[in-house]
């Protein structure tokens, strides 16, 4: 995998009524930003979803996503690492990830 510079920001959500635990954004190589990423608490633990839109048949489709499996893993790991380290007492400001490379 090419080394990608990721700038990850995670915004925790404190609401016990929702499975959405945080929103996140990722800048990749200072070229593109993906916003609308979510951290979800599922039956098997936390997972990351990319931004989605709903079609006329009520099906959801990702509207932005990494093509490379390695990049997807790096994004997911960065987001979950930041979320998990801040989930007990999230900071007032979003925390940024260290550069990957």
> For residue 29, what is the domain's CATH number?
3.30.1120.40
Asked if residue 94 belongs to a domain, the reply is no
| Beta-ladder partners of 39 | 22, 48
Asked if residue 43 belongs to a domain, the reply is yes
- Which domain covers residue 15, as residue numbers? 6-89
> What pLDDT, on the 0 to 100 scale, is given for residue 1?
47
Q: Count structural domains, the chain.
A: 1
> What pLDDT, on the 0 to 100 scale, is given for residue 94?
65
Q: Name 85's Cβ contacts closer than 8 Å, sequence gap at least 6.
A: 95
Asked if residue 95 belongs to a domain, the reply is no
Asked if residue 100 belongs to a domain, the reply is no
pTM for the whole structure: 0.79
Q: What is the pLDDT along the chain (101 residues), one digit of tens a residue?
A: 467 899 999 999 888 889 999 999 999 999 999 999 999 999 999 999 999 999 999 999 999 989 999 999 999 999 999 998 876 554 556 666 655 54
Asked if residue 12 belongs to a domain, the reply is yes
Asked if residue 82 belongs to a domain, the reply is yes
Asked if residue 18 belongs to a domain, the reply is yes
> What pLDDT, on the 0 to 100 scale, is given for residue 8?
94
> What pLDDT, on the 0 to 100 scale, is given for residue 87?
63
Q: What are phi and psi of 65, to 5 degrees?
A: -165, 150
Q: How far apart are CA 57 and CA 60, in angstroms?
A: 9
């Amino acid at each position: 995998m090419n080394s990608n510079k990721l700038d990850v920001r995670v915004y925790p959500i404190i609401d016990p009524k929702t499975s959405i635990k945080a929103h996140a954004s990722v800048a990749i190589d200072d070229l593109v930003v993906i916003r609308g990423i979510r951290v979800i608490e599922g039956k098997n633990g936390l997972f990351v979803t990319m931004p989605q839109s709903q079609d006329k048949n009520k099906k959801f489709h990702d509207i932005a996503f990494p093509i490379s499996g390695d990049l997807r893993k790096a994004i997911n790991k960065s987001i979950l690492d930041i979320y998990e380290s801040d989930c007990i007492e999230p900071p007032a400001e979003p925390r940024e990830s260290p550069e990957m490379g």
